[in-house]
Amino acid sequence: MENPIILDGRKVAQDVKDRLKPRVEYLKKKGIHPCLATILVGNNPSSATYVRMKGNACERLGIRSKRIHLPEETSTEELLHVIHELNEDHSVHGILLQHPVPAHIDERAAFEAIHIDKDVDGVTSIGFGQTAFQFGRYPSCTPAAIIQILDYYQLPIEGKYAVVVGRSPILGKPVSMMLLNRNATVTTCHSKTKNLPEIVRQADMVVAAVGKPNFIKGEWIKDGAVVLDAGYNEGNIGDADYETCRPRSSAITPVPGGVGPVTISMLLKHTVDAAEAKLAGQTRHVSNA
Amino acid sequence: MENPIILDGRKVAQDVKDRLKPRVEYLKKKGIHPCLATILVGNNPSSATYVRMKGNACERLGIRSKRIHLPEETSTEELLHVIHELNEDHSVHGILLQHPVPAHIDERAAFEAIHIDKDVDGVTSIGFGQTAFQFGRYPSCTPAAIIQILDYYQLPIEGKYAVVVGRSPILGKPVSMMLLNRNATVTTCHSKTKNLPEIVRQADMVVAAVGKPNFIKGEWIKDGAVVLDAGYNEGNIGDADYETCRPRSSAITPVPGGVGPVTISMLLKHTVDAAEAKLAGQTRHVSNA
C-alpha cells in the first residue's frame, strides 16, 4: 500500500481519557474517589517503570493511585494476604498486580485471588470466562486496547480473518475471544504452529502478541492487512518488524505510541467503571459470588 | 483414504466407565455415594430423553441420580433457588441443568449459579476460564469427549491445524481452547465466517459443532483429515455429511455412536472426580470462592 494509516495510540488514549474526566469529576462530587491499587513485587526495573507509568496516569486523571511495593522475598502467602486486604478495602476500586512477579511466587494463585469486581486489569480466569461469554466487565487491558484502536479508526472486524500470534492468558487468548465475539474468524497461533508465515499471509488482521522483537516479517503480511503490534520489547521494539510490515499494511500500530498508551487508558477506564459500579451498587450473576 | 478409522464412541465410553467402576466402589466403601443432580425444566421431549439417558447412565455405574423436574412456567428466581439448594446439599456432588431451558428463563444466570465445585457439566464462565487457563477440573463434556476420543485412538493433536466450526459457550469455544492447550493451531469459525469451505479444506482436524444437519460437506475435507462430529440433529443426523466426509477422512466419528456416548461418560467421570475431590477435601484458588 502507498500510505498505510499509522494507528496513533496516543490519540486514541487521549480520546478515552478526555471522556473519562467528567465521569471522574461526577464520582468525586458523589463522594467516591476512584482508586487503583498497584502492587509491585521486587525490583525488576521495567516492572517498576510500568507500575509508575500507570500510577502517574491515574493521578493525571484525578484517580487515586495506592502504590504498594513489596520486597523481592515476599512469599505467595504474604502477597495473597495483601490482595485479600485490598479486596476488603472499600476505598479501593481496582487492583493491579504488576506482571511478572518473582519466580518463587505462584503468580496464578495471586491473580486468582483478586476479586472479580476489582479485576480491572482482566487477569482472573473468571474475568476471562465472562469476557469470552460476552458479559465481562473488565477484559484484559491490552486486548481491550486493540479493539479500542480498531473502533476508533472504524476498521471493521466482522467477517475479517484475524490471526493472533500468541496465546497468553492476558493477551493471545482474550484478544482471540474478543475478536471472535465481534464476528471475526480467528486463528490462534503459537510456538508449536507449523507454517506460521503461510497462515499469517492469509490474515486480514494480524495481532502480534508473541513477545519476540521483530518476529513478524513484512513478507508474511498480506497486502492491505491491518497489523496490531502488542509487543513491547527492550529498546522500544515491537513483535512485528515495523519497517517491512508498514509498506504492506493498510494500517499499523507503531511501537512505541501504538497499543501501549491505549492499554493504560483501558486500565483507567476500567477503574472508573468499577467506581461507578460501586456507586450504582451493581451486582452481577457470578459463580461463587 | 481407503479405510478411515471409524472412531467408535461406544467403545471409548465403555473404557471410561470400566475405569470409573472401581473408583465408585472405593468411594462407597468410604461412605461417599457419588450423586449427580439433574434439572429438567419444562417438557421439551428431547431434553427429557437426554436427561433420562444421563440419569440412567449414572445408575448403571452406581452413581446416584437425583432427578428434579420443574414445570414449564418455572421462573428464573425459582430455578436459581433450586440450584442454590443443590449447591448447599452435601449429598450432591454434581449439578446438571439440561439445556435448553424455556425461553422466559435467564439460562446464563442459571448456569452461573452452579457452584464451580459442582459444575461437572462445564457450563459456568469460571469453569470455562479455568479450562482455558489449564487448571480447570471439569471442562464442558462434549469438548472433553472429543479430546478423549483423540487420545483413545492415539491421534496426535500437537502441531495439527484444527478448524472448529461453531463458537458456543459449551462446545465451540471450549474445544477451541482445549485443542489450543494441546498445542494445535486452532481456527474458530461461525455463521459470519467467509470462505468456510476454503478454511475447512486446510484442516488436519475438523470439529463440527454448528448444529445444522449435514452442514460440513465431503468436498470441504482435506484428504486424510480427522473429522469429529459433535452435532446431533433430529433423526440421528450429524453436522458433517458422513457419507461424503468418510471417504476423504483418515478417521471420523459416526452419528450416532460417536461423540455422544463419550460425552455422557465424561459427565460420569466428572461426577466421580467431584465426589473424590470432596473425599480428599480439596480446595482450589478460585476467585470469590
| CB distance A115 to B288 below 8 Å | yes
Query: In this structure, is residue B58 part of a structural domain?
Result: yes
Query: In this structure, is residue A267 part of a structural domain?
Result: no
Q: CB-CB: which of A109, A128, A286 is closest to B132? A: A128
Residues A252 and A171 in one domain: yes
Residues B108 and B148 in one domain: no
Q: Would you state the pLDDT for residue B266?
A: 98
pLDDT band with cut points at 50, 70 and 90 for residue A286: very low
- Check which CATH number belongs to the domain holding B186 and give it: 3.40.50.720
pLDDT tens digits, A239-249: 999 999 999 99
Whole-number Cα distances in Å, A242 to A205, A217, A239, A249:
15, 8, 9, 10
Residues B154 and B247 in one domain: yes
CA B212, CA B197: separation in Å to the nearest integer?
A: 15
Residues B146 and B251 in one domain: yes
Contact yes or no for A288 and B126 at CB 8 A: yes
Query: In this structure, is residue B268 part of a structural domain?
Result: no
| CB distance A128 to B133 below 8 Å | yes
Query: In this structure, is residue B95 part of a structural domain?
Result: yes
pLDDT tens digits, A262-272: 999 999 999 99
A185-189/A161-165 β-pairing: parallel
Per CB distance under 8 Å, which residues of B are interface residues toward A?
Answer: 106, 108-109, 112-116, 119, 124-130, 132-133, 135-136, 158-159, 161, 167, 169, 173, 176-177, 180, 183, 185-190, 192-194, 199, 285-289
What is the share, in percent, of chain A residues with pLDDT greater than 70?
A: 97
**SS in 3 state form for chain A?**
CCCCEECCHHHHHHHHHHHHHHHHHHHHHCCCCCEEEEEEECCCHHHHHHHHHHHHHHHHCCCEEEEEEECCCCCHHHHHHHHHHHHHCCCCCEEEECCCCCCCCCHHHHHHHCCHHHCCCCCCHHHHHHHHCCCCCCCCHHHHHHHHHHHHCCCCCCCCEEEEECCCCCCHHHHHHHHHHCCCEEEEECCCCCCHHHHHCCCCEEEECCCCCCCECHHHCCCCCEEEECCCECCCECCECHHHHHHHCCEECCCCCCHHHHHHHHHHHHHHHHHHHHHHCCCCCCCCC
Q: Would you state the pLDDT for residue A1?
A: 56
Q: Cα dihedral sign for B167, B171, B173, B178?
A: negative
Q: Would you state the pLDDT for residue B261?
A: 97
| CB distance A279 to A27 below 8 Å | yes
CA B57, CA A283: separation in Å to the nearest integer?
A: 38
In terms of phi and psi (left: phi > 0; alpha: psi -120 to 50; beta: otherwise), the region of A159 is: left
Q: Would you state the pLDDT for residue A289?
A: 35
Query: How high is the ipTM of this complex?
Result: 0.95
| CB distance B215 to B239 below 8 Å | yes
Whole-number Cα distances in Å, A68 to A46, A109, B67:
16, 18, 51
- What single letter denotes the amino acid at residue B109? A
Query: In this structure, is residue A124 part of a structural domain?
Result: no
| CB distance A231 to A254 below 8 Å | no
Residues B91 and B196 in one domain: no
Residue A285 has pLDDT above 50, yes or no: no
Residues A108 and A145 in one domain: no
The model's pTM: 0.96
Contact yes or no for B185 and A185 at CB 8 A: no
pLDDT tens digits, A80-100: 999 999 999 999 999 999 999
- Those residues of chain B that have pLDDT short of 50 are 283, 285-289
CA B118, CA A30: separation in Å to the nearest integer?
A: 41
Query: In this structure, is residue A287 part of a structural domain?
Result: no
The predicted model gives A107-121 an average pLDDT of: 98
Residues B145 and B251 in one domain: yes
Per CB distance under 8 Å, which residues of A are interface residues toward B?
Answer: 106, 108-109, 112-116, 119, 124-130, 132-133, 135, 158-159, 161, 167, 169, 173, 176-177, 180, 183, 185-190, 192-194, 199, 285-289
Residues B111 and B166 in one domain: no
Domain that residue B70 falls in: 31-115
- Check which CATH number belongs to the domain holding B58 and give it: 3.40.50.10860
Residues B232 and B155 in one domain: yes
Query: In this structure, is residue A4 part of a structural domain?
Result: no
Domain count across chain B? 2
| Nearest residue of A to residue B183, measured between CA atoms | A192
pLDDT tens digits, A122-177: 999 999 999 999 999 999 999 999 999 999 999 999 999 999 999 999 999 999 99
pLDDT tens digits, A30-78: 999 999 999 999 999 999 999 999 999 999 999 999 999 999 999 999 9
Residues B100 and B157 in one domain: no
Q: Would you state the pLDDT for residue A2?
A: 67
Residues A182 and A223 in one domain: yes
Q: Would you state the pLDDT for residue B1?
A: 56
What ranges in A90-140 are assigned the alpha helix state H? 107-113, 125-132
Query: In this structure, is residue B134 part of a structural domain?
Result: no
From chain A, pick out residues whose CB is under 8 angstroms from the CB of B112.
Answer: 285-287
Q: Would you state the pLDDT for residue B288?
A: 39
Residues A166 and A243 in one domain: yes
Residue A282 has pLDDT above 80, yes or no: no
From chain B, pick out residues whose CB is under 8 angstroms from the CB of A106.
Answer: 285
